[in-house]
A and B are shown apart, each in its own frame.
Chain A
């Protein structure tokens, strides 16, 4: 999310959760499994979710973004187009699979490993944290070290120069969407394993949260997004235990405003701005 709110990113995520769910159904999983079967099933689900989300992201880019880019439409038009696509995708799933919550089968038994203070450390939570860290690390390396990664960064910093330097913008944009979609798919599987449910509108709030985290950390900065995500999670957890869960979003947004007042480009946003100047 470097330069534009992709409203439909929530729906990319939602599609990933559904893909993971159907893969589990397809594999006939209805109880917790272990060992190699578990690893295999999770990998298969991850593959399906990433493929579905990545594919959806590419299609979305093709249908709702690229034609606008070709016409030189304003970013506002792109925002509205994304909102339209978001409504459309949500409704497709709502009409096809109903508006009620769908449950995931339990694939991973939720065994408590050990306690830290009052908090229980559970297998599924450990898995999710480890998987998230691995994904972040891989993405970070990918953007930093590969040719495509350089293309993405170059385009983000200065599109016109990037074109002059021989970067194929269409390809870079498409691959960036694909990458974002794959990440969303991975996240979708984690969500499915952890909370074992999904719904047509599951992505909506998470999308806003993700966007908040990205802004908090500093748009256009992967490590910033990571820091922002962590900070947002901590603020919300702290806020809900002190003032009650109903106030957590208020607290999160107030902190966001305060942070942006002092650091208008987010916690880690400055480096990028300096690079641009």
Chain B
């Protein structure tokens, strides 16, 4: 199976369609369906031809693994893919051996992850940026491990992933065991909250983070709730009642921005006056759109990631400019991490490593200054010295307050 199963032409067409959509050009459903039908037909035919020719392709393939469609796709997919793409485009300008991006759209669904990981192996990608979600990581990473494909996640922060003894697993930001305590410390020390409500979205990520905060805050947590946003259908009234009845000073929410927005709005409508703190899943401008600028004002959000647009560092600002030029939008959550991770792989390739195994070997010794931090992995694959940053909503924008450790 040495074939180029996804040939570059098809990728180009798919890319073109995606970027067209992101630029706001809304094509009519029917028209797109018709176009796609021909593309799929062409790809179907083309791929079998190129595989039979047996060429392994002149370009080196780097995969992307995450959600490009589906409900979490803006944050845990497109942001990351665009960061990866920018790094590769910049590399291709000067490099002799070109690199191409092969996307694996998991829709964040762990049930789809195994076959896509398998596909990446048979496509002979040399590295993968992703998987984006912790859930799909658990299903896909064992396959990457056996298939010996280095994978670098820019967003999966589950605190157990690094404990599997995987050699090919890397991640570019601190995990929830660091983020949770940082949230808890900020709430108890900086905000001096005596009574805290911890609410989570009953998801793998949200409850995981919420539980770390709960155990760190201990008896200060006087109200607990776990609401599956799907079952709530946008109505958080029972949670708001609990929070108000508990007369808490602060609310911590473990979950994603789509749900944090309505919750925050309903809390403020319900006369809740205390602080609202949340984690990286809530770090998105859409949180402010959904909660409304008045309700969102002053909300605290932590992230192990650096939102390049909010940073005053010149390298980050340059990255923001380039990113905007390349994808037509401001870099989002995890974009800069994905960029750094891709650059780590590209440095390996530039040093003459063109197979997955040698690239993985190179990653054990890689050490350079990225946009977000110094990129250097420990034996478990965790990036070293990953900081937790605190953001706050100010005048309807996400502003960077700084490293949580220096703020307390």
Cα separation A95 to B234 with both chains bound (whole Å): 20
Chain B residues with CB below 8 A from A161, complex form: none
- Which one of A110, A205, A241 has the greatest number of beta carbons of chain B within 10 Å? A205
Chain B residues with CB below 8 A from A155, complex form: none
Within 8 A of A (CB), among B246-301: 258, 261-262, 265-266, 269-271, 286, 289-290, 292
Report yes or no: B230 in contact with A205, Cβ–Cβ below 8 A. Answer: yes
Chain B residues with CB below 8 A from A119, complex form: 241
Chain A residues with CB below 8 A from B271, complex form: 112, 120
Report yes or no: A195 in contact with B234, Cβ–Cβ below 8 A. Answer: yes
Cβ contact of A100, chosen from B224, B231, B239, B258, cutoff 8 A: B258
Cα separation A237 to B242 with both chains bound (whole Å): 11
Query: Closest CB-CB distance, B28 to chain A, in whole Å?
Result: 10
Query: Closest CB-CB distance, A91 to chain B, in whole Å?
Result: 9
Chain A residues with CB below 8 A from B401, complex form: none
B403 interfacial by beta-carbon distance below 8 Å: no
Cα separation A195 to B269 with both chains bound (whole Å): 10
Query: Closest CB-CB distance, A47 to chain B, in whole Å?
Result: 23
Within 8 A of B (CB), among A221-255: 236-237, 240-241, 244-246, 248-249
A171 interfacial by beta-carbon distance below 8 Å: no
Among the 9-residue stretches A57-65, A68-76, A181-189, A196-204, the one with 4 or more Cβ atoms under 8 Å from chain B is A196-204
B226 interfacial by beta-carbon distance below 8 Å: yes
A-B interface contact total, Cβ < 8 Å: 78
Chain A interface size band reads 20 to 34
Report yes or no: A195 in contact with B286, Cβ–Cβ below 8 A. Answer: no
Cα separation A209 to B235 with both chains bound (whole Å): 13
Query: Closest CB-CB distance, B227 to chain A, in whole Å?
Result: 5
Chain B residues with CB below 8 A from A141, complex form: none
B238 interfacial by beta-carbon distance below 8 Å: yes
Within 8 A of A (CB), among B183-233: 202, 224-228, 230-233
**What per-residue 1/0 map shows which CB atoms of A76-102 lie under 8 Å from chain B?**
000000000000000010011001110
Report yes or no: B238 in contact with A101, Cβ–Cβ below 8 A. Answer: no
Chain B residues with CB below 8 A from A248, complex form: 231, 238
Chain A residues with CB below 8 A from B239, complex form: 245
Query: Closest CB-CB distance, B239 to chain A, in whole Å?
Result: 6
Chain A residues with CB below 8 A from B234, complex form: 101, 191, 195, 197-199, 202
A168 interfacial by beta-carbon distance below 8 Å: no
Cα separation A198 to B230 with both chains bound (whole Å): 13
Among the 9-residue stretches B47-55, B66-74, B98-106, B134-142, the one with 4 or more Cβ atoms under 8 Å from chain A is B66-74
Report yes or no: B270 in contact with A92, Cβ–Cβ below 8 A. Answer: no
A136 interfacial by beta-carbon distance below 8 Å: no
Chain B residues with CB below 8 A from A202, complex form: 233-234
Cα separation A39 to B212 with both chains bound (whole Å): 48
Cα separation A275 to B26 with both chains bound (whole Å): 54
Per DSSP, chain B at the interface is helix
Cα separation A206 to B235 with both chains bound (whole Å): 11
Report yes or no: B238 in contact with A99, Cβ–Cβ below 8 A. Answer: no
Chain A residues with CB below 8 A from B227, complex form: 245-246
Report yes or no: B290 in contact with A245, Cβ–Cβ below 8 A. Answer: no
Query: Closest CB-CB distance, A187 to chain B, in whole Å?
Result: 12
Chain B interface size band reads 35 or more
**What per-residue 1/0 map shows which CB atoms of A207-222 lie under 8 Å from chain B?**
0010000000000000
Chain B residues with CB below 8 A from A240, complex form: 238
Report yes or no: B228 in contact with A110, Cβ–Cβ below 8 A. Answer: no
Report yes or no: B225 in contact with A195, Cβ–Cβ below 8 A. Answer: no
Query: Closest CB-CB distance, A22 to chain B, in whole Å?
Result: 16
Report yes or no: A120 in contact with B270, Cβ–Cβ below 8 A. Answer: yes
Report yes or no: B286 in contact with A100, Cβ–Cβ below 8 A. Answer: yes
Query: Closest CB-CB distance, A237 to chain B, in whole Å?
Result: 6
Report yes or no: A195 in contact with B262, Cβ–Cβ below 8 A. Answer: yes
Cα separation A202 to B259 with both chains bound (whole Å): 12
Query: Closest CB-CB distance, B197 to chain A, in whole Å?
Result: 12
Report yes or no: B233 in contact with A101, Cβ–Cβ below 8 A. Answer: no
Chain A residues with CB below 8 A from B231, complex form: 205, 248-249
Chain B residues with CB below 8 A from A96, complex form: 26, 29
- Which one of A122, A240, A245 has the greatest number of beta carbons of chain B within 10 Å? A245
Chain B residues with CB below 8 A from A118, complex form: 241, 244-245
Query: Closest CB-CB distance, A225 to chain B, in whole Å?
Result: 18
Report yes or no: A244 in contact with B245, Cβ–Cβ below 8 A. Answer: no
Cα separation A236 to B244 with both chains bound (whole Å): 19
Cα separation A237 to B245 with both chains bound (whole Å): 14
Cα separation A106 to B268 with both chains bound (whole Å): 13
Residue of A nearest to B244 (CB): A118
Query: Closest CB-CB distance, A37 to chain B, in whole Å?
Result: 21
Cα separation A122 to B269 with both chains bound (whole Å): 10
Top 8 A-B pairs ranked by shortest CB distance? A246-B226, A205-B233, A240-B238, A99-B71, A245-B227, A195-B234, A101-B290, A110-B269
Known contacts A206-B233, A237-B238, A245-B226; 11 further A-B pairs (Cβ under 8 A): A112-B271, A118-B244, A120-B271, A195-B234, A199-B234, A199-B258, A205-B230, A205-B231, A240-B238, A241-B238, A246-B227
In the assembled complex, 13 residue pairs joining A and B whose CB atoms fall closer than 8 Å, in A order, are: A96-B29, A99-B70, A118-B244, A122-B269, A195-B262, A197-B290, A198-B234, A205-B232, A244-B226, A245-B226, A245-B227, A245-B239, A249-B231
